[in-house]
Amino acid sequence: MTREEAEAALQAWATVERDELIQAAYRAGVSKNRIHVLTGTARSTIDRTLEAPVGTDRQRVTEYLGRFTAQWPRRDFELEPVMADHYTPAQIADALLADAEFRALRLGTWLSTPSGELLADAVTALAPAPYQQDISLLIDALQLAAERQQAEARQKLAIGLLGGAALAFAIGTSRA
């Protein structure tokens, strides 16, 4: 991202995740003061945002997956290996994306998706542990859901940038 792109994205910050956008713009070389001027965000908020870690840790994902898979079939406190036989990663990804708690994890942002290693660690840390085919199903579904979430975030950013550019053009032509 260039400095100019980062500044244009900041002007459309209300349509995307503010904290992530502030962090990306700062990493791209936009000063804290310029971020403040473009967004109207308080300098103390910018400082707190830049101190916050980016991304989602494995423990939060594992805790979420424990709740998500709580309704999966179980036998003697073990998950039964039936999910992978009946569902595709796309179907599980659809269920994940329909869940507000999953969306709040923000695995797919306009900048990134989590590494496959993080997802694999999160899934294999589940207790009780799923069978291998269900582990693969969950990892594939999480990655797919994160990629879809990222595509949605990028679409929102593009719409915001286009709307901001159209507004700037309209203001510029009305002054002429």
CA distances from 65 to 41, 131, 133, 152 (A): 34, 14, 16, 22
Please check whether residue 173 lies inside any domain of the structure.
Answer: no
Q: Which domain holds residue 30?
A: 1-54
- Residue-by-residue pLDDT tens, the chain, 176 positions: 788 777 766 666 554 567 777 877 888 888 988 988 888 888 888 887 777 555 557 788 888 888 888 887 766 655 555 788 888 999 999 999 898 888 877 787 766 677 778 788 888 887 666 677 788 888 899 999 989 988 888 887 777 777 666 666 767 777 66
Predicted local confidence at residue 15, as pLDDT: 46
Same domain, yes or no, for 31 and 84?
A: no
Predicted local confidence at residue 155, as pLDDT: 82
Predicted local confidence at residue 127, as pLDDT: 64
Same domain, yes or no, for 108 and 88?
A: yes
Predicted local confidence at residue 110, as pLDDT: 64
Same domain, yes or no, for 68 and 31?
A: no
Distance CA 172, CA 85 (A): 59
Same domain, yes or no, for 118 and 65?
A: yes
Same domain, yes or no, for 11 and 41?
A: yes
Same domain, yes or no, for 62 and 144?
A: yes
Predicted local confidence at residue 167, as pLDDT: 65
Please check whether residue 167 lies inside any domain of the structure.
Answer: no
Give phi and psi for 110, each to the nearest 5. -65, -15
Total domains in the fold of the chain: 2
Same domain, yes or no, for 33 and 73?
A: no
Predicted local confidence at residue 161, as pLDDT: 72
Same domain, yes or no, for 149 and 63?
A: yes
Q: Which secondary-structure segment (H or E) carries 112?
A: none
